[in-house]
Amino acid sequence: MNPLYIARSPAVAARRLGDEMVIMSAVDSTLYTLSDVGAVLWQAADGRTPLAEIVRRHVCREFAVDQETALRDAEEFVRALAERGILLVSGEPINSSAAAEPAARAATAGPREETP
């Protein structure tokens, strides 16, 4: 299976508030809060590290879940974020100019959408 690469979209603003990672689409001002696993994926989305490697290195270790299950959930999650324009997803490494600069840190369920 081909590797998948993920990067943060430059069209969003993100901030950790308390224990939650909050992301706002600068296009339509929709606000999202990420689950713990979602936050881990978000913060590791540097455009260069394959998703499988991010899952192995961060998700499996921090959340005690097997690689196969975690990767399947993660792929579903990142595609959901990509549909909302929050993440860039590609079969190739993503150039940094197309993505936002890496953030500090960010895991199972998808985003909880909140419409302002």
Partner 1 sequence: MGAIPPGGERKGRNTESMAAAISITGLASQEAARDVRRALTIAIGGLPVRFWVPDAALSAMLAERYAPFLHGDGPRSPEIDFEISLAPPGWLPGPAELEVRWDSGLWRMGRGDFRAEFDLAARRGRITLFPNPYAVDALLRIVHSLLLARSGGVLLHAASGIRNGRGVTFSGVSGAGKTTLARLAPPGVLLLTDEVSYLRRDGEGFRVYGTPFSGELGLRGQDVSAPLGALYLIEHGAVNRIVPLTQPGAVRRLLRNTLFFAQDTDLVSGVFATLCELIERVPVCRLEFAPDARVWELAA
Which of 64, 66, 101, 116 is the binder for partner 1 (CB under 8 A)?
116
DSSP helix, strand, coil percent of the chain (3-state; round to 5): 35, 30, 35
Cα–Cα separations (whole angstroms), residue 19 to 16, 75, 93, 109 = 7, 24, 30, 16
Task: State yes or no: residue 113 binds partner 1 (CB under 8 A).
Answer: no
Which 2-31 positions form the footprint of partner 1 (CB under 8 A)?
A: 10-13, 15, 17-18, 20, 22, 24, 26-27, 29, 31
The residues of the shown chain that bind partner 1, judged by CB under 8 A, are: 10-13, 15, 17-18, 20, 22, 24, 26-27, 29, 31, 33, 114, 116
